[in-house]
Structure formats: C-alpha cells, structure tokens
Amino acid sequence: MEVNEEKRKKFMEYAGKRVNNVMHDIQILEPMARSNSYDFTKEDVEKMFFAMQESLDATKAEFNKRFEEKARTERKVFSFDNVVPTQEVEEIRDKDENIANDGF
C-alpha cells in the first residue's frame, strides 16, 4: 500500500493532537480516584472503563478495516481459467448451507 506523504503528514498532525487530547482527558480522571470530594463504587469504575474501552475498541476497528479490506481486495483475482463450473458451484453452496445449518 503506497502512502500519500501529504495526507500522512496531515494525519500525523491531527491524530497527534487528538490522541494527546484523549490522553489528557483520561489523565484528569485520575485525581478523582484520590479525592475525598467524590464517592463511587467499584461498579461505577467498571462502567466508566468499560465504556471507554468499548469506544477505543470501536475506533481501532474502524482504522483496521482499511487494512482488512485492502488485504481482501488484493487476494481476489479473477481468471477464466479458474472459473468453477456451475454444477460444482451449486455443490459447494449446498455444502456451505449444510454446515451453516448444523451450527458450525
């Protein structure tokens, strides 16, 4: 995958700023844990960190989609020499449906 240097430079600039903002926001939560001004339960903490982790995982998945789609696209190559006859396609489809119906 070829990288457009101008777009990469822009990404590095904006991503760097945004990641620093996120890290700052996370870091300012920490003093709340040590303060006597707040009261919270273990469940409250678990809910907070679960929500943050879910958001982080979803964002990471969005970034990774780019690489997965490229990999899938690069693997697909059509050639008339490799075309499977219609009867064989139907047999393969039937096998796949049977496997899916068996819960595998």
User: Any idea how long the chain is?
Assistant: 104
- State residue 84's pLDDT score: 62
Q: Which pLDDT score, from 0 to 100, does residue 1 have?
A: 66
Q: 22 in a domain, yes or no?
A: yes
**Average confidence (pLDDT) per 10 residues, the chain, 104 residues:** 90 97 97 95 96 96 86 69 65 70 61
Q: Are 48 and 40 in contact (CB under 8 A)?
A: no
Domain with 11 in it: 1-39
**How many structural domains does the chain have?**
1
Indicate whether 25 belongs to any domain: yes
Q: Is 44 part of any domain?
A: no
Say if residues 38 and 32 touch (Cβ distance below 8 Å).
Answer: yes
CA 91 to chain centre: 34
pLDDT digits (tens, 9 = 90+) for 43-60: 999 999 999 999 999 999
Q: What's the confidence (pLDDT) of residue 16? A: 97
CA distances 61 to 12, 54, 67, 70, Å, are 19, 11, 10, 14
Residue 76 and residue 71: Cα distance in Å, rounded?
9
